[in-house]
Every structure is written in C-alpha cells, then in structure tokens.
Amino acid sequence: MAIDKVKAYLRERGMEERVLEFDTSSATVELAAAAVGCEPARIAKTLSFHVGDRVALVVAAGDARIDNPKFKAQFGCKAKMLAADEAEPLIGHGVGGVCPFAVNDGVDVYLDESLRRFDVVYPAAGNAASAVRLTPDELQQCAEPCTWVDVCKLP
C-alpha cells in the first residue's frame, strides 16, 4: 500500500508520527479539510502534470489554482494534467492520495509559493484517507529534492 511506503519514507526523516489516518475520505480539498478540521486553504493539494517525458508534481494551497501563463513560463509548456489512470503507475500513488513523498523515478516535485503563508499545511500521505501535518519548511525537507515555484493564483 502506498501509505505504508509513505510512512516508511517519513520514518526515515523522523516525521512518521505526523501522519493522520481517517475513517472517511480525504480525497478532495473539501473532504480533507473536514477530516483534518482545518480551513480548505491549508490542505496542500498535489497536482500532477506531464512536462516533457517527466511528471511534475506541484504542491499548492487548497485554494490556489494553476495560473497558465506562470506555468508555461516556469516549465516551457502548457499545463497538461495526468489522466486519473496514469497517476498510480507514473507517480506511485493513486488519485486522492497523490503526495510528494516516496514518488517514482521520473517525478519532479515543486512546492508552490501559495503554501508559505501558512504555519502548518496538510498534504496527503499516499492514500485517500490520510494527511501529514507539516510546516512549509518541513514539507520542503520531506519532499527533497524539490524546488519552490510560483505557478498559482489565489482567489
């Protein structure tokens, strides 16, 4: 199971105890916010895109949206999301549990600046009923190698 892979990955970084598991789905920003008990913007959603022959994961605040001109300027191509059936084989996590931890080779991780306005954010932990409580700096440490980017816009 992907959550076990993520827990092992986070254990190596001293963060396994931060994993939250739920009896209900946390597959969307709204469901995750309800499960965690926080505002939706604090959910660190992970969006997956085709960028050349690689996959780019962009982790952004729950209320952020991809800004197409910024995305194209950063990555040199139009934003094209992975199809649902591509997520697990390409990333290593299925839809609803995609996160920047313990990802497959060929996947690049980017953290959007929209996350920096929060003291704590909650990315998924490998399945559709989990999250991890992390500060943006801890998220960066756990998602290494990763790069901070500015490819989103806020409402």
User: What's the pTM?
Assistant: 0.95
Per DSSP, helices labelled H in the chain are: 2-11, 29-36, 68-75, 84-91, 136-143
Length of the chain in terms of residues written: 155
Asked if residue 100 lies in contact with residue 143, where contact means CB atoms within 8 angstroms, the answer is: yes
Closest CA to 129 of 36, 48, 8: 36
- pLDDT surpasses 70 at 1: no
Rounded to whole angstroms, what are the CA distances from 132 to 18, 74, 136?
Answer: 5, 27, 12
Asked if residue 25 lies in contact with residue 131, where contact means CB atoms within 8 angstroms, the answer is: no
Q: What is the pLDDT of residue 12?
A: 95
Helices and strands (DSSP H and E) totals, the chain: 5, 9
147 Cβ contact list (under 8 Å, min separation 6): 108, 109, 110, 111
Question: Using one digit for the tens of pLDDT, what is the confidence trace for 46-91?
Answer: 999 999 999 999 999 999 999 999 999 999 999 999 999 999 999 9
Separation between Cα atoms, residue 84 and residue 77, nearest integer Å: 20
3 state DSSP class of 71 = helix
Question: Using one digit for the tens of pLDDT, what is the confidence trace for 94-153?
Answer: 888 999 999 999 999 999 999 999 999 999 999 999 999 999 999 999 999 999 999 999
Q: What is the pLDDT of residue 41?
A: 98
Asked if residue 155 lies in contact with residue 62, where contact means CB atoms within 8 angstroms, the answer is: no
